Chain A
Amino acid sequence: MSRTDAQVRAEDVARAAYGKLIAMLASRTGDIIAAEDALADAFVAALKTWPERGIPDKPEAWLLTVAKNRRIDQARKDARLVITDEANDMADATAIEPEEAQLDDRLKLLFVCAHPALDEGIRTPLMLQTVLGLEAEQIAKAFLIKPTTMAQRLVRAKKKIKSAGIPFVVPESEAYPERMSAVLEAVYGAYAVDWLDGDGDLSHEAFFLSNILAELAPENPETLGLTALIGFIEARRDARLEGGVLVPVPEQDVDLWDSQLIERSVSILTQAALKRAPKTIPGRFQLEAAIQSVHAARSVTGKTDWRALSQLYQGLMHAYPSIGGAVSRAAVVAEDAGPAEGLKMLEVIDFDGLDTYQPYHAVRAHCLAELGRTAEAAEAYAMAISLCTDRPSKLWLERKIAGLREKMS
């Protein structure tokens, strides 16, 4: 086998198993940094050994065994990394724990990353790095933060976990309401990272985790809400792009939607409503899932119920105001009551950072174009393009602007 084959395979295993292996290594000691160091050494060893001896039958188990040995070495203050045939033999025998124990370790790590004693802003990045194996640089890009700053914050959080003694446990179910919301935020954040512009590994993993959480806490309506929300979006995976260009939800081909997943999400959302205390406002994820369920209904009714969407966004903005919700609401109002109303809605939005918020300019451009204010619309689209960070949306915006220019000439 060539060096490159082994390298590619090691990288594949690294990506797929990173979070699992970190969770197993760190959950015993509470030391994520030491676990990362040990695993990094194991990857180096794999790149050295695999091209010569071939890839082991269970590469994950091999890596885990070498990493564990490395950590023991470290503990003994012995810097040498000894690779013997023993690693291969041990790996095949006992190193990998049963699926259930692995999953349990991952849940523990998830709850650690979302611990209330950690700064809110670092929880999703920390989860992306430790549970899902993203590089600090990729995370920094997704959060629009300087890579060095992001790396420092991540290290600080990991140091705190160890020295403050944050326990690696899945909390008692009484603590779910308090702890779960941070976990759900982090999972949703992870889902969004590579949804449009990536290989989908992360969003698949986040979808998987949301389902596990729903099994873990079936009485928590927001957990069900998130699982339904991600399910609705996931069901549209094959329809979201056409030749690498974004296709907006109302224009997607419903035949490409996963109808089974939609049905399942509807049923999960219904369960969430049943678990909710009477006369209480649904949580944010349940409301957002309800919005997606209206979009999903087009596959049956053949049209989008803009009035229902408008009402749901009104509810969402009332209970959980956000810049994203405000702009989406204006977009929906523009469809329901006309572009002039949509534009009015945009004008009264009062959030910091609106000027540099790409969707704001895109929705504004759409309203202006509908009103025949073509030159202004083209200007707004150009602004949106300059702020756009993902390729599919950028291509879509460029197509829009090209259409307008054609009209103008």
Chain B
Amino acid sequence: MRYTFLLYSDPAMAAGMTEEDWAESKKVFGEYIGALQEAGVFIDTDWLHPAETATTITLAGGEKRVQDGPFAETKETLGGFFAIEVENLDQALAWAEKCPAVHYGKVEIRSSAMGSV
């Protein structure tokens, strides 16, 4: 069976991190990924830019609405994910617009922060 782990944390913690803290964090995550790979259960992972850099798109209600920021928590909850590789946010938005979920819910777009530190 395939499982998805969703990692939640307080962004305020990251704000106080030093270069050494980041190196340590990379090391422990690296070890964890290594352990998953060794066990043959690893599929994919990603580390995302902060929620405040998110863009949210919906076509629910028939009109396209693009919003700056993460989706505001209402009665909708996370129900799935797609990871895609494109050049920029415009291309990501174009694909998000084609995602079936956009017609009844919201799709939040976050870029990968891999390699940014």
Kindly state whether residue A160 has any CB partner on chain B within 8 Å.
yes
CB-CB under 8 A from B68, the residues of chain A are 117-120, 122, 160
Contact of B88 among A122, A159, A166 (CB under 8 A): A166
- Give a binary string over B76-103; 1 marks a CB under 8 Å from any A CB, 0 the rest: 0000000000011110110000000000
Q: Are A165 and B52 also in contact (CB < 8 A) when A116-B66, A119-B68, A119-B69 are?
A: no
User: In this complex, what residue of A is CB-closest to B48?
Assistant: A163
- Using a CB-CB cutoff of 8 Å, which residues 112-133 of chain A contact chain B? 115-120, 122
- Check B90 against A167 for contact (C-beta < 8 Å): yes
Count of chain A residues with a beta carbon within 8 Å of a chain B beta carbon: 18
- Check A165 against B92 for contact (C-beta < 8 Å): yes
B-side interface size class: 20 to 34
A160 to B69, CA, bound (A): 10
CB-CB under 8 A from A120, the residues of chain B are 68
Q: Are A159 and B53 also in contact (CB < 8 A) when A117-B66, A117-B68 are?
A: yes
Shortest Cβ distance from residue B115 to the other chain A in the assembled complex, whole angstroms? 12
User: In this complex, what residue of A is CB-closest to B52?
Assistant: A156
Main secondary structure, interface of A, reads loop
CB-CB under 8 A from A117, the residues of chain B are 55, 66, 68, 89, 93
CB-CB under 8 A from A171, the residues of chain B are 90
Shortest Cβ distance from residue A166 to the other chain B in the assembled complex, whole angstroms? 5
A109 to B69, CA, bound (A): 21
A117 to B55, CA, bound (A): 6
CB-CB under 8 A from A277, the residues of chain B are none
Kindly state whether residue B45 has any CB partner on chain A within 8 Å.
no
- Give a binary string over A162-177; 1 marks a CB under 8 Å from any B CB, 0 the rest: 0111110101000000
Contacts beyond the supplied A122-B68, A171-B90: 13 A-B pairs with Cβ under 8 Å? A117-B68, A117-B93, A156-B52, A159-B53, A163-B50, A164-B53, A164-B54, A164-B89, A164-B109, A164-B111, A167-B88, A167-B89, A169-B90
5 nearest CB pairs, A to B: A167-B88, A117-B55, A116-B66, A119-B68, A163-B49
